[in-house]
Amino acid sequence: MRSRILTAGAIAIASAAVLVAQPPAKTVNGLQISVKSVARAERTPLRDCPPGTNSVNAVQRPGDELAVVTVDFKVMPDFKPVTMKRATATAADDKVYNTSIQFVDVGSVPEYSCQFVYRVPQGTKLKTLQIEGASFDISGLESK
Partner 1 sequence: MEIDRRAFIASLGGAAAVASMSDEAKADALEHYMEDQLDAGVEAQRGQTAPGQPETFPTVADIEAQIETRPFRRGTGSVFTGQRGENVKKITPMPDKPTLQDFFRLRFAPANHVLQSATRAMKTGMSEEIILACLLHDCVLSLIKPDHGWWGAQLFEPYIPEKSAFAIRYHQTLRFFPDEEAGYEYPDQYYRIFGKDYTPPQYIQDTYKWLKNHKWYMEPRLVTVNDLYAFDPNAKVSIEPFEDIIGRHFKQPKEGLGFDNSPSAHMWRTLARPDSPL
Q: Which is nearer to partner 1, 19 or 56 (CB)?
A: 56
Q: Which is nearer to partner 1, 21 or 46 (CB)?
A: 46
Smallest separation, CB 19 to partner 1 (Å)? 32
Report if residue 42 touches partner 1, rule: CB under 8 A: yes
Whole-angstrom distance, CA of residue 11 vs CA of residue 47: 33
Report if residue 121 touches partner 1, rule: CB under 8 A: no
Report if residue 80 touches partner 1, rule: CB under 8 A: no
DSSP letters of 118-135?
EEEETT--EEEEEETTEE
Smallest separation, CB 140 to partner 1 (Å)? 25
Q: Which residues pair with 68 in a beta bridge?
A: 39, 117
Nearest Cα residue to 27 out of 100, 102, 106: 106
- For the chain, where are the E strands, in sequence order? 26-28, 31-41, 43-45, 57-59, 64-75, 88-91, 96-98, 111-121, 126-131, 134-137
Stretch that binds partner 1, among 12-20, 71-79, 101-109, 131-139 (CB under 8 A): 101-109
The only residue of 15, 98, 113, 122 in contact with partner 1, by rule CB under 8 A = 98
Q: Which residues bind partner 1 (CB under 8 A)?
A: 42-43, 46-48, 52-59, 61, 83, 86, 97-102, 104-105, 117, 119
